[in-house]
A and B are shown apart, each in its own frame.
Chain A
Amino acid sequence: MVHQHFSLAPNLTVLDNIMTGTEKLWSFKSETVTARTKLLGIVQRFGLDVDPDARLGDLSVGEQQRVEILKALYNDARILILDEPTAVLTNIEAERLFRTLKEMARQGLSLIFISHKLDEVMAAADRIVVLRGGKVAAERLVGQTSKADLAELMVGHRVTRPVRDQAAPGAVVFEVTGVTVRQGGVDRLKDVSFHLCAGETLGIIGVSGNGQTTLAHLVSGLAKPSDGGMLLFGEPVANLSVRGLIESGVGRIPEDRNKEGAIGEMSIWENTILERVWSPAFSKYGLVNRKAGMAFAERIIADFDVRGGKPASRTRLLSGGNMQKLILGRNLSDRPRILIAAQPTRGLDEGAVAAVHARILEARRQGTAVLLISEDLDEVIGLADRIQAIVNGRLSPAIAAETADPRRLGLMMAGEWRQTEGAVNAS
């Protein structure tokens, strides 16, 4: 079993990680030489090259995943279960993984590949089983089905993602020039420049862990720039405060809705007003106006089709999609001038994705400047007007969405945007 989140110890070596639990606990010596030989044999057989003595934490995510697969193979697994294995990979790394999987299948292993990305399932599998609500909804051979067919089976009814219309960009509302963010001695963002225009969406793509979180934090006022300049609505700002940003109309959809987006143990109405509890609309003389909060929550629940909860029920009980709609509602009901959407559809089903996309497009149509940070290429191509890639804390130049295709974006995400730069100037 290879989980989406790895079961590895970053402070131990690759060999240690793989050997754990494979020997009798009470023997007085570890047979490291034998283990190394066996491991290198498997590495050769499937082309999964990794250095056995590297410290695991020093490896890239793609390599760590190879260690997970090696661990299973080292234990002589005949059936390998991969849970969302591509979530952390670039599409180039993913293609490499698919080749390895095909090779394993050819050598007689059985593979179960769990994913919600239709392209990948079509690319990796021979036979597809669709699960819906804990039941098998259908079983299809790859040659006899299509993406649209699978999407419909997954959701239970026909879904179409909303289509982006022509943008009408207005004035520049937020501009960042040469900003570096240093945290704990590490440059999380390096010399980053971008701008947001009213009524336009800027998409930031990149493999997980390349500085997306810091970028979202920078624009939300949670991370302070160590260097560089920022202009908010044309005014230079050195430090953004979270509260100041919210008051000047910046809405945020945080990357992790359970950790930063909402407080699960608090009620829905409390969560909806949490961001602006100080505003006179929700509190007076230092006391929270519960009635106004309840009314606001009612309105969001109705307008944004949040299902499964009343204003007084605990937020934790909402499904991921409904919690995301709640967070969207909290931010969009006041027509923000800027919306930061970090991984807005991560882990949502196809129906909820369509709803969230429709809301983001709607906000943009009404003149909100949207910063969309996502790892999902289809999402960025579908929603963004301009696209930049983030690699190791640096941002590529922007390209127009019309000129983007998965191959070109893949190259940008791998940091090879210099090859595509000519095309940018031409377009």
Chain B
Amino acid sequence: MTALFDTLASAGLWAATLRIATPLIFGTLGAVLCERSGVLNLGIEGIMTFGAMVGWLTVFNGGDLWAGMLAAALAGAAFGLLHALLTVTLGLSQHVTGLGITLFASSLSYFLFRLNVPLASSPPTIEPFQPLSIPFLSDLPFFGQAVFTQTAPTYLAILMAVFMTYVIFRTPLGLAIRMTGENPHAAEAQGINPVGIRYGTIMVGSALMGTGGAFLTLSAFNSFFPTMVQGRGWICIALVVFASWRPGRALLGALLFAFFDAFQLRLQAALGGIIPYQIFLMIPYFLSIAALAVMARRARVPQALMQPYRRGER
């Protein structure tokens, strides 16, 4: 029991929580944006992988770290454009298209990676983002260690959640996005172009997903391997429901999941000898499902989610 308490009180646990949460925050915010306008984007898993690869490759070939993040965002937006073409313009099934994009983007990532980087026993590395040292704040006891030793993209992710909350709930653009997700016909009748809105949200949302992927190779690790996203995209899709499509709650949900994950890693270290480690690996997913079951029952789904918009049809 004391071991448990010690773990909870260690700054390392909380620092790890923020670090693990960062790609989830980016990914969930991206998915929230897409779904708010009525489009499910299951391409997220592949787009994150692709973002991780493009970001890493940019830096590996001599680019700046921020150039890597930007390249990942642009690559994400490109896949967003593809998703929008297929689901909005052609009105194809959003499930099937999204899964197709995930398979395509994941495979393409590995292909392009291999074209550029020859097979080696130990993967090549880059110099990743370094923790920011913030004067005064980083020196605080405990808090300094727990919260203010992150790399820049982590703070960017948190700011992004605040910014998106403002845009969605306080600006005319946000209202137009929400209306498109609830009733695109009503939006159209009020002079809004639902097709344009959906293209915009899917591309920007996918750019955020790509950024989230790039965090993995440019900050959390320093090399790329094809399986590194490890289902984080699917967790983001679940977190969207957990968050009831609100960016603020998306931030909370991502932190909660990351906390479970950071915690189980430490439990593994402490109790790994007694209980098989696979049990610990299950914990965050199991708790996510439990939390989802409680939260999602009351969630208000955007009414037009997964409905293709065709002019003149009702």
Q: Which residues of A contact B (CB under 8 A)?
A: 1, 5, 7-12, 16-17, 19-30, 71
Contact = CB atoms under 8 A, between A and B. Distances in A.
A17 B186 CA distance: 9
Contact of A29 (B171, B182, B190): B171
Nearest to A1: B189
Contact of A9 (B170, B191, B303, B314): B303
Interface of B: 170-173, 175-176, 178-179, 182-183, 185-187, 189-192, 300, 302-303, 314
8 contacts: A1-B189, A9-B303, A10-B182, A11-B182, A21-B179, A25-B173, A25-B176, A30-B175
**Chain B binding surface, main DSSP class:** helix
Nearest to A26: B173
Contacts of A22: 190
Contacts of B302: 11
A26 B183 CA distance: 21
A9 B172 contact: no
A20 B189 CA distance: 10
Given A7-B189, A9-B303, A20 B171 contact: no
Contact of A7 (B175, B183, B191): B183
Residue of B175, B178, B185, B314 with most chain A CB atoms under a 10 A cut-off: B175
A9 B171 contact: no
A16 B190 contact: no
Given A8-B183, A20-B186, 12 more contacts: A7-B183, A9-B186, A10-B182, A11-B302, A12-B182, A20-B176, A21-B190, A21-B191, A24-B172, A25-B176, A26-B172, A29-B170
B171 A7 contact: no
Nearest to B170: A30
A335 B314 CA distance: 37
Contact of B172 (A10, A12, A25): A25
Nearest to B186: A7
B303 A21 contact: no
A351 B45 CA distance: 58
A16 B181 CA distance: 13
A21 B187 contact: yes
Contact of A20 (B170, B190, B303): B190
A16 B178 contact: yes
A356 to B, nearest CB: 25
A16 B175 contact: yes
Contacts of A10: 182, 303
A17 B178 CA distance: 10
Contact of A27 (B171, B185, B303): B171
Nearest to B179: A20
